[in-house]
Amino acid sequence: GAGVSQTPSNKVTEKGKYVELRCDPISGHTALYWYRQSLGQGPEFLIYFQGTGAADDSGLPNDRFFAVRPEGSVSTLKIQRTERGDSAVYLCASSLAFRDRIVFGSGTRLTVV
Amino acid sequence: GEDVEQSLFLSVREGDSSVINCTYTDSSSTYLYWYKQEPGAGLQLLTYIFSNMDMKQDQRLTVLLNKKDKHLSLRIADTQTGDSAIYFCAPHGSEKLTFGTGTRLTIIP
C-alpha cells in the first residue's frame, strides 16, 4: 500500500482482556518496527522484525507482550491480560531494508479501563 | 544503548528562526531523523540527514550534523504558528531508531 496502515485506530478494552493490534507495512518493506508512545513521552522501541523473524525484541516490557509476522508482511502485536499501564499509542513503522528510511503509521490508541 | 537528549521546551516569536538541538551517543547512526508531532496526531517525518552529510536544506528547514560531537540541529526559518508542535530527534543507530524526549516548540505571536 501507499503507507503503513494500522488497525484499529482506537481500541478500548477492559483490564485483564486480550488485544491484538495489526500493522500492514508498505509493500515490499522487509523491516518492521513496533514502538509505544505513552502520554507526554517519546516513542519507545518494542520489537523489530527483519522478514519473518524478530531480530530484536529487547524492548518488549514483559511476557504479556508478543508480536508475530508469519509471512514477512503483516504483523500483529498481542497483549495478554492487559493492565491500565498498557494504555498508550502503539506505533508501527517499516523500511525497505534494515537502516533504510523508516516510515511510521498513524498508530493505534489503546485505552485499558 | 543509545541515549538521545533534547531540551524540553523552546519558545520563539513568530517570524524568527527556531533552532532545536539534539545530542546522541551512538556513533554508528546512519540516518538521523526529525519528526514532528502535533497534539493528538501521529508522527510526521519532517526531514532527515544521512550520516555522511554535514548539512541538508529543505525549504524552511536546515539540518546540521556534527558527527564528531554527535550533535544534530534543526533550524526552522520564518517560524509560523503552524510550526507549533513537539519535535523529536531520532538517530538510527546500530540496531534501531531511538527517540529523544521531544522539544515542545511554542510560537509567541
pLDDT digits (tens, 9 = 90+) for A44-66: 999 999 999 998 999 999 999 99
Instruction: Identify the three-state secondary structure at position B87.
Output: strand
Chain B CB within 8 Å of residue A60 CB: no
Q: How far apart are CA B57 and CA B68, in angstroms?
A: 20
pLDDT for B95 equals 67
Determine the average pLDDT of the residues in A14-29: 97
Strand order in the sheet with B61-66: B4-6, B18-24, B71-76, B61-66, B55-58
Cell reading at A81: 491480560
Question: Residue B93: what residue type?
Answer: G
**pLDDT: is A47 or B26 the higher one?**
A47
Top mean-pLDDT range of A42-56, A68-82, A91-105, B29-43 = A68-82
Question: B23 at the A interface (CB within 8 A)?
Answer: no
User: Residue A98: what pLDDT?
Assistant: 72
Q: Which of A10, A58, A104 is the best residue to mutate to test the B interface, defined by the most B CB atoms within 10 Å of its own CB?
A: A104
